[in-house]
């Protein structure tokens, strides 16, 4: 029996939290567990997911598929065992492309991506701009990424509130780049989330690790570059949690929830409810 697809936006309120790097590595880790995984770059204006994965020559992108200039097959690339749907590097193209998007075409593209994969990870841009709303609304689940600093924590809180408004379930929090230089402990982060949101489970703590920066410079996911380093071990454990193989078992969505995912994204792209 084919596993029903899951869509997860990975978001952070503040830039520099390590969200894109985490998205790329989590996708590779899920694939290593045997899950068919697709990553969609939702940062329409400042796309850089392809660079993190060492993919510098992606001529056709998600925007081309949305506007009908390319077929879905043509904007899906394969690297490190995962499927990647990049966005272009020219932010000038974004407004023009989105202004030409037809509801029917956008629905067709998203449906096709969802039906071809088990996990669709959406790398959302930082902040609460239009592109962020689109990316969060595109997914049924949201995985927030936070650094152990006061400013990152507050911005992450705002992002979770936004996800709640958009109807995206926050399955838990990832605390990234933990270590001696942290302003906050994981216990303090959990206490804050408990007071403000009624509790958000801590899914993973990923330590600050120099191997991550080394891997980025090489354009290689750290889970491939140095599988045994502390960050890689933590990301691989997170993948097991997300996949339902450790803690928080997952109940698959039914077909109407797949349609709901598509409808959420279409509303965000077009501003129309029907």
pLDDT of residue 147: 95
pLDDT of residue 86: 92
pLDDT of residue 254: 45
- Please report the domains of the chain, with CATH numbers, ordered by start residue: 6-254 (3.40.50.300)
User: Distance between CA atoms of 48 and 188, rounded to whole angstroms?
Assistant: 32
Phi/psi of residue 123, nearest 5 degrees: -80, 105
CB atoms within 10 A of CB 89: 14
User: Token pair for residue 244?
Assistant: 């339902």
pLDDT of residue 247: 56
Q: Which residues of the chain have pLDDT under 50?
A: 1, 249-256, 269-270, 273-274
């Amino acid at each position: 029996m084919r596993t029903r697809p899951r869509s997860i936006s990975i978001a952070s309120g503040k830039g520099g939290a390590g969200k894109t790097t985490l998205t790329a590595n989590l996708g590779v880790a899920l694939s290593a567990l045997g899950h068919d995984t697709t990553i969609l770059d939702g940062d329409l204006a400042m796309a850089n997911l392809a660079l993190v994965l060492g993919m510098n020559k992606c001529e056709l992108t998600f925007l081309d598929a949305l506007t009908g200039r390319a077929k879905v097959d043509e904007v899906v690339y394969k690297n490190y065992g995962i499927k990647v749907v990049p966005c272009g590097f020219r932010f000038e193209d974004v407004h023009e492309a989105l202004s030409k998007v037809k509801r029917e075409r956008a629905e067709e593209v998203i449906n096709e991506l969802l039906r071809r994969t088990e996990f669709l990870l959406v790398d959302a841009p930082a902040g609460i701009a239009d592109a962020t709303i689109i990316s969060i609304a595109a997914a049924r689940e949201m995985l927030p990424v936070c650094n152990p600093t006061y400013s990152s924590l507050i911005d992450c809180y705002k992002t979770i509130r936004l996800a709640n408004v958009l109807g995206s379930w926050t399955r838990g929090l990832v605390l990234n780049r933990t270590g001696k230089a942290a302003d906050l402990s994981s216990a303090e982060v959990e206490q804050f989330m408990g007071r403000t949101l009624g509790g958000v489970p801590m899914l993973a703590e990923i330590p600050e690790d120099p191997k991550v920066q080394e891997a980025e410079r090489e354009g290689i996911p750290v889970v491939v570059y140095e599988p045994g380093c502390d960050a890689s071990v933590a990301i691989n454990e997170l993948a097991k949690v997300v996949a339902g193989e450790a803690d928080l078992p997952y109940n698959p969505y039914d077909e109407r929830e797949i349609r709901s995912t598509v409808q959420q994204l279409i509303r965000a792209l077009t501003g129309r409810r029907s």
